[in-house]
Amino acid sequence: MMIVNLVQPILLIQHFHFDKFMLRFLNQIQIMKNKIFLSFLRNIFLMIGIPFYLQAEVIIGSLNAESGAGSGIAGIIIESQRVAVDHINSDTIGIQGEGLLKIERADTACDPISSINTVNTFINRYNPDIILGPTCSSTTLEIAKNITIPKNILLISSSASSPEISSLDDNNLVFRTIASDTQQAYSLAQYLMSRQEKEVVLLYGNDPYNETLAQIFLQEYTNAGGTVRVKTQLTEKTVIDWKFINDFVDSGLVYEQPVLLMFLHGNERTVSLLEQFIGIVEERLKALTKNKIFSHHYGTDSMLTSNIRNLLYSYSSSGLHKEFTVIAQAFSQSSSEFQSYANILLNAGVDPNSPYAAFSFDTTMLAALALQHYSYNSNENISLADSLFNIANPPGVIVGPGSWETARSLILRGVDINYNGVMGPMDFDNKGDVARLYSLNQVSDENTWIVESLDPVNPIFNFITPQIVID
């Protein structure tokens, strides 16, 4: 059932002078799920001559690492959710028969232990039927196991990519629009081996996401016959550690220019570290009268940011930007879905190419469509998870990110829909996971990301015609 908030009740009272009492009463029942009681209450007021007006809201919870390790990506996730909600509410109807969509947020700080109390308090206050997030995998696992699954709350994350989430005994209550790290690590390992890149130096961040991704990649890459010559973390301490710098440079020289692989977040902290790192490495190379130490530079999806792009472009004199490739979950910039989404975000002043923005937008749209489907089919013996499967998976009329009113109209006519998002089809498997394509992303001479899509089924990774991302 939906949550209905009573917001700004207006009582046009004739002959009665108990408005203050009624307002206090309405505040006490501000959050309730029993729509039958609300209808009964409304009828009582009308019988005694008191017109009763309500502005209804449907509450969705949003758990984000607004502080802590995942804060670098939480901001764009929140912004993308906001834009999606504004799009859904733009006709002042929102969820037909239920009310306007509203997102309430809580900061989990990417801390699985302390967030338990935070989320319990949050749920007791807002009682949401759906939660978007959390941002981090570790928090998602703990919140799901200890709170949302026992309380029968549907959870959809746009950024939690740990493989452990796939094996949760979740009663079909945990979903995600981002692929498992296993998919990205496998695609990256296979691509490097297809290019005969059999030796790498790995530089990764000291955070759970990049540490986990590095671990999975190591297994996939070495199983495929690759060798990791050096594996080390990039931190404030290592970047100014001359032993670390010397060992790093020496590894590139000794092993005849292996590949440099970076698993780092594309946030301001990383940019600052890389600026220092690149500057110190260049000083060391000048002393050795060398220009390059690595044949190619690769990064992962969280580095597909304007911050990283601008940094790489600023080092164009060394040719670094021409040799840097980010392998990220792919979507077609020429598709109607992407164009609709990009227009919505650009009109709202948000960069559509920001990492996780597309995932977050799709997640919010899926949640709203599931709520609408569930409301329409409330007399049927289905769950909210059933509704999510129904609107996300075939068969059905294909609808996209800019088609909210059309999608809602189809649902209210009893027509099956199949939501195809910015990131492509949203077909959930029985583990709540989606399959993704991966793309090669390089910085152009015009300081834009150039994208080539990969086919993960083909080990040679045939390319589709390159297209320039909207910038």
* Chain centroid offset of residue 422 CA: 12
Residue pair 118/143 in contact (Cβ under 8 Å)? The answer is no
Residue 128: φ, ψ to 5°: -75, 150
What is the CB neighbour count within 10 angstroms for residue 360?
A: 33
Residue pair 303/274 in contact (Cβ under 8 Å)? The answer is no
Residue with tokens 């440099």: 260
Residue with tokens 């973390």: 233
366: left (phi over 0), alpha (psi -120 to 50) or beta: alpha
Q: Beta partners for 78?
A: none
Residue with tokens 């000048």: 286
Same fold, 58-178+356-425 and 182-332: yes
Rg of the chain over Cα atoms, rounded to whole angstroms, equals: 25
Which of 171, 167, 117, 104 shows the shortest CA–CA distance to 137? 167
The span from the CA of 434 to the CA of 176, in Å, is 7
Q: Does domain 58-178+356-425 have CATH number 3.40.50.800?
A: no
The span from the CA of 180 to the CA of 64, in Å, is 19
The span from the CA of 193 to the CA of 457, in Å, is 15
Beta strand spans in 308-437 (E) = 324-329, 397-399, 417-421, 424-425
pLDDT digits over 134-144, tens only? 999 999 999 99
The span from the CA of 106 to the CA of 102, in Å, is 14
Per-residue model confidence (pLDDT) at position 332: 72
* Chain centroid offset of residue 280 CA: 34
Structure tokens, 347: 């009109």
* Chain centroid offset of residue 183 CA: 16
The span from the CA of 246 to the CA of 312, in Å, is 22
Q: Where are the domains of the chain?
A: 4-21+28-55, 58-178+356-425, 182-332
Structure tokens, 279: 């500057």
pLDDT > 90: what percent of the chain? Answer: 48
The span from the CA of 126 to the CA of 148, in Å, is 13
Task: Kindly give the interhelix angle for 242-254 and 268-287, rounded to the nearest 10 degrees.
Answer: 70
**DSSP calls for 137-157:** HHHHHHHIIIIITTTT-EEEE
Residue type, 457: V
The span from the CA of 75 to the CA of 60, in Å, is 18
Residue pair 197/227 in contact (Cβ under 8 Å)? The answer is no
Per-residue model confidence (pLDDT) at position 419: 97
Per-residue model confidence (pLDDT) at position 426: 93
Q: Which residues of 23-48 are buried (b: 16+ CB within 10 A; e: fewer)?
A: eeebeeeeebeebeebeebeeeeeee
Structure tokens, 424: 């492509």
Residue 60: φ, ψ to 5°: -115, 135
Structure tokens, 202: 């790995």
The span from the CA of 95 to the CA of 92, in Å, is 9
Q: Does domain 182-332 have CATH number 3.40.50.2300?
A: yes
Per-residue model confidence (pLDDT) at position 429: 94
Per-residue model confidence (pLDDT) at position 317: 60
Per-residue model confidence (pLDDT) at position 447: 82
Could you give the dihedral angle defined by the CA atoms of residues 421, 427, 431 and 435, in that order, rounded to the nearest 10 degrees? -80
The span from the CA of 29 to the CA of 128, in Å, is 15
Which residues, given as ranges, of the chain have pLDDT below 70? 1-55, 256, 316-320, 322, 453-471
